[in-house]
Each structure stands twice: as C-alpha cells, then as structure tokens.
C-alpha cells in the first residue's frame, strides 16, 4: 500500500511482535473480510493510526516496556467526537483485579476491551467487529456534528443578516419619523410665516397707493422683492416637507422652459452660457407648473454657484420610456429633463447628502440648503424620480423623470381687465383667523370697492351665512376647529350657487378639494386677489 492511496477508516492495525501472533491475527481478521495490517512497533502503529484506522489490536507485553507518552498525547489530541478503540490481548489469569499494570494500561488507552489468550478465532473476530461498529458510529456522529455546525453557521449568518436588516429598517423608520416631525414643524412655521408675508405685502401695497413719494418708491420695491424672496423660501420649505398642496395639471414643458428662458438668463452671470435643447414632439406631463419652474430655477442657481469661473449650463428635454426594473425604479412613459453644468462637481461624500434638507456646502448666508430638497420633493410628489451624477472637475447632471400625461394642456385664455367699478358694492364674507392679515387685506379690499364682512373662524362665518348669504365666500384654509375646506363644503351645501375662493400658505387638505374651489396661494398681491374675486363673480350663475 502506497502513501498516496486512500486508507479505510475501518482498517485494523495489529501490534503483536512476538512470534507469529501478528500474522495469525491478520489472517483471522482477513478471513472475516476485515482489512488488517501488522505494525512492527508502537511508533509505526501511531503513524498508521494517524493515516486512518478504526481499531488497534495490541498485546499486553508490547506495552509494558514501551514509552506510552506519545500514544497518550495522541489520544489527548483526539477531537471531541473521537474515542479510538483498542483491543488488548492479555495473558491467562491476568484479570484487572490481580493485575495493576492492566489497570494502568486501561487508564492510558481509555476505550479498551480485554481479550484473554488463548481465545477462539471467532471471539477475536466478534470483538473486532463490535469495536469497529462503535467506531463507525463515531464517524456518523462526526458527520452529524459537521451538519449541525454548518447549520449553526448558516443560522448565525442568517440571524446576523436579519439583525442587520432590522437595525437598518429601524434606522430608516427613525429617520422617517424625524423627517416627518421636522416636516410638521416646518409646515406650521411656514403657515405663520406666510401670514406675516401676506400682511407685509398688503401693507406695502397700501403705502404705495397712499404715499406718492419718488424717494420712497425704491424702498417699497425692495420690500416687495423681499416678500417675493420669502415666498420662494416658503415654497422650498413646503416642497421639502411635502406638505404643499400641489396643483398638478397637464403642462407643456417646452412652453414652460421657453417662457422662463429670460428669467434664467437674468439669474445666471454673463460668463455662463445657457443652452436649451428641447426634442420636437415633447409629451405633456402632469405637474404643478409653478413648482416645476421653481425646480428648474433652483437647479440653475445651483449650477451658477458651481461655475465660479464661468462655463456652460445645458437644459435638455426629451421623451423617454423607462422599462420595469430600470435603475430609476420606475416604468412607463416619461419626459426626461436634464440640467447639466461644466462646473466644479462634487465628491462622493457630498453627493450622498445633496437631497438632505438644509445640507449645503456654501458659506453662511449664501444658501438655505433647500434647493435640491425642493427638487426631490417636487419629483416624488409628481410621481417621478430625480437622479444626480457628479464628480470633482467633471460637472454635475441632474435628471428628472416626469410621468407623461394622457391629457392635453389647456390653452390659456386672456381674462379681460376688470372695470374700475366692477367690485363696487360686491359683498364678501372674509374668514381669516390672523387679525393682522384680516385687518390689512380687508382694508385693501374695501379700498378696491368691495363690501367686506369679517369672521375669525368657521363658526362665525356659518352664523353670518345663516343670517344673509354674501356674494362670495373668501376663506383661509388652515384655521382652528373647522378648516376652510370644510367650511366651503358646508357653505355650498347651504348655498349651492355661492362662489368660493380659498387662500392658503400651507395645507395638506387642499388636494381633497378636487377642483371644486379655486385656491389662491399665500402670500398673494392684492391685484391678483381682486382679479380672482372678480373672476369668481363672473363664473357664478
């Protein structure tokens, strides 16, 4: 037998150096179809055991003078599943009760069976077969242990993966809860801030009408610009908080982009070249046109800041079909809007956080960190997605996928200017819980010729409606108790033909109106308010 051949784990090793004992034992075992092999000494036996064996047959006398320490050390190194068996051939009359040496050998060998000589051949075969059967069970136990170990490893890995997934999910939920709480806080702050802007805008308008001083005109203009900037900021905040009631409608992206080209040129610097590439036959999309323009403007301003030494800004729009399973995670027909610049680009650490609210790399006072948050909120609320690619020195490309609309954009019609006396005598029930806004706007409407009856909440308004129906109900949406939408519905139930105009700077409920009422966004200028009120009269039966 060569060392390269596989060895049977049930091989019987025989160590009986006196006379023909080894040869006889090997022959007897062979006749019983057991593989047996004789070893010349104890070191040879240990080498063969290490190569593979199931039983060692030893004679008592060979162990009396041998150094058993290597054998004992090998036995101590056995794996937990192994208990190697020995069959010890003893002299006649050498029982354990009278032979202390046998007790020592039994202690060293451990799993040992004694067979007193002389013995019948069948006794040797039976003892060897029994020992091999026990060894076979040890191998079976090892296989089971290996299976259990593999199962335990798999379970441990699965548990670790599930724990990691659970922790990640908990982290996402925690982040969503934080963002939701921040969104609720933001929405409340925006509501109050819009009321202040509304009061300020109305004050500026009244001052402009009453004070005809050329020196004050620039100050009034600066004040109106500040109000406009504040209004844009609140729109960004609401876009981030996803609490702005978007008013999506079929929109011609081509017309929107071409119509705001002049605004974009003014927003950029002279050293930035603007290119607009629009594919012919562009599909309509269903978005809020105002929020769309704000998103494009935010992207253009971000690109401007990324081009300190000048460069190129490209706005492109084309039809696109996203297949299911695409990297964007959407499918269907879309219009792809890309805004690309040749600016400084962003490193991966910054790129990973660009859509986070209030995150900015700009110096203090140079940016709110809400521009890209507004773009992200607008895209998601519109049923689309936004993606961004950037690298230092390679510029930035932001891609918006906006779902195609099956409806055709409405053709705008020009509303004829109102006659000076068209508002005269018209009775308006104005419901506004903010006394500052109610006082200033009410005064401005009275100066425009309307007769204004004021109510601070829905209960007062319903009582007034019970006494006498006005020509039009003009109500704020967000109020304590019954809100403006609920008030409008109740007013229409009582007076089905009553024109209604809603005003809001923040609301999650306007979407439920379903187009039944016109909604004016705060802060508004008095002229658009007057025109909206007159339009309500014109549309009433």
| Average pLDDT along the chain, 541 residues, taken 10 residues at a time | 58 86 88 91 89 88 84 88 89 60 79 84 90 89 86 87 81 64 62 71 73 71 70 60 64 87 82 90 87 85 88 92 55 88 88 70 49 78 88 91 83 49 84 84 87 92 91 88 90 91 69 69 82 82 56
Name the CA radius of gyration of the chain, rounded. 45
Global model pTM greater than 0.85: no
Burial of 280 (0-12, 13-18, 19+ CB in 10 A): exposed
Q: Residue 510 carries which DSSP code? A: G
**Cα–Cα distance for residue pair 52/487, rounded to 1 Å:** 92
Question: Residue 435: what pLDDT?
Answer: 83
Of the candidates 343, 226, 223, 245, the one whose C-alpha atom is nearest the C-alpha of residue 290 is 245
Question: Residue 177: what pLDDT?
Answer: 66
Question: Residue 415: what pLDDT?
Answer: 46
Of the candidates 480, 330, 329, 313, the one whose C-alpha atom is nearest the C-alpha of residue 397 is 313
**Cα–Cα distance for residue pair 474/429, rounded to 1 Å:** 6
CATH number corresponding to 248-403: 3.30.565.10
Question: Residue 452: what pLDDT?
Answer: 92
Q: Which fold has domain 181-244+422-541?
A: Rossmann fold (3.40.50)
What number of other Cβ atoms are within 10 A of residue 349's Cβ? Answer: 7
Note the CATH architecture for domain 12-119: 3-Layer(aba) Sandwich (3.40)
Q: Residue 404 carries which DSSP code? A: B
CA distance to 82, 94, 149, 253, per residue, from 160 (Å): 32, 59, 16, 49
What is the residue extent of each domain of the chain?
12-119, 181-244+422-541, 248-403
Q: Which residues of 413-440 are buried (b: 16+ CB within 10 A; e: fewer)?
A: eeeeebeeebbeebebbbbbbbeebbeb
**Per-residue 3-state assignment (H helix, E strand, C coil) for 4-53:** CCCCCCCCEEEECCCCCHHHHHHHHHHHCCCCEEECCCHHHHHHHHHHCC
Q: How would you list the strands of the sheet with 518-521, edge to edge?
A: 451-455, 427-431, 472-476, 500-504, 518-521
The reply to whether 248-403 shares the fold of 12-119 is no
């Amino acid at each position: 037998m060569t060392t390269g051949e596989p060895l049977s784990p049930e091989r019987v090793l025989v160590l009986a150096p006196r006379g023909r004992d080894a040869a006889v034992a090997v022959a007897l075992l062979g006749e019983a179809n057991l593989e047996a092999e004789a070893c010349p000494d104890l070191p040879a036996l240990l080498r063969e055991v290490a190569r593979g064996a199931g039983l060692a047959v030893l004679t008592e006398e060979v162990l009396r003078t041998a150094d058993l320490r290597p054998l004992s050390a090998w036995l101590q190194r056995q794996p937990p599943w192994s208990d190697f068996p020995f069959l010890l051939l003893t002299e006649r009359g050498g029982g354990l009760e009278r032979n202390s040496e046998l007790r020592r050998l039994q202690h060293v060998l451990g799993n040992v069976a004694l067979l007193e000589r002389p013995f019948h051949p069948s006794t040797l075969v039976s003892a060897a077969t029994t020992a091999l059967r026990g060894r076979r069970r040890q191998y079976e136990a090892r296989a089971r242990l290996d299976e259990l170990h593999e199962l335990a490893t798999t379970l441990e890995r699965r548990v670790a993966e599930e724990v990691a997934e659970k922790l990640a999910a908990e982290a996402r939920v925690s982040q969503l809860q934080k963002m939701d709480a921040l969104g609720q806080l933001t929405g409340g702050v925006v509501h109050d801030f819009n009321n202040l802007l509304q009061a300020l805008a109305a004050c500026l308008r009244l001052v402009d009408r009453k004070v005809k001083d050329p020196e004050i005109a620039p100050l009034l203009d600066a004040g109106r610009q500040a109000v406009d900037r504040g209004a844009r900021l609140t729109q960004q905040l609401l876009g981030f908080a996803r609490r702005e009631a978007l008013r999506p409608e079929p929109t011609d992206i081509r017309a929107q982009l071409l119509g705001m080209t002049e605004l974009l040129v003014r927003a950029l610097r002279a050293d930035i070249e603007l290119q607009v590439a629009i594919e012919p036959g562009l599909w309509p999309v269903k978005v809020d046109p105002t929020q769309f323009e704000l998103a494009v403007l935010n992207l253009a301003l971000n690109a401007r800041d990324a081009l300190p030494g000048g460069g190129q800004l490209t706005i492109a729009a084309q039809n696109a079909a996203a297949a299911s399973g695409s990297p964007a995670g959407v499918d269907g027909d879309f219009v792809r809007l890309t805004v690309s610049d040749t600016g400084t680009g962003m490193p991966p650490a910054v790129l990973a956080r660009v859509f986070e609210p209030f995150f900015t790399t700009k110096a203090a006072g140079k940016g709110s960190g809400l521009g890209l948050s507004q773009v992200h909120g607008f895209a998601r609320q519109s049923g689309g997605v936004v993606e961004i690619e950037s690298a230092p020195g390679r510029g930035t490309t932001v891609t918006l996928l906006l779902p195609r609309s099956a409806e055709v954009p409405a053709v705008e019609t020009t509303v004829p200017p109102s006659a000076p006396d068209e508002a005269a005598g018209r009775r308006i029930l104005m419901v506004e819980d903010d006394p500052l806004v109610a006082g200033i706007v009410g005064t401005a409407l009275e100066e425009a010729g309307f007769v204004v009856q004021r109510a601070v909440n829905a209960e007062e308004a319903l009582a007034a409606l019970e006494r006498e129906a006005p020509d039009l109900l003009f109500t704020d949406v967000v109020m304590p108790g019954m809100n403006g939408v609920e008030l409008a519905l109740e007013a229409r139930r009582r007076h089905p033909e009553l024109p209604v105009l809603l005003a809001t700077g923040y609301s999650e409920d306007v979407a439920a109106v379903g187009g039944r009422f016109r909604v004016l966004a705060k802060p508004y200028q008095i002229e658009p308010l007057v025109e909206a009120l007159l339009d309500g009269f014109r549309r009433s039966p």
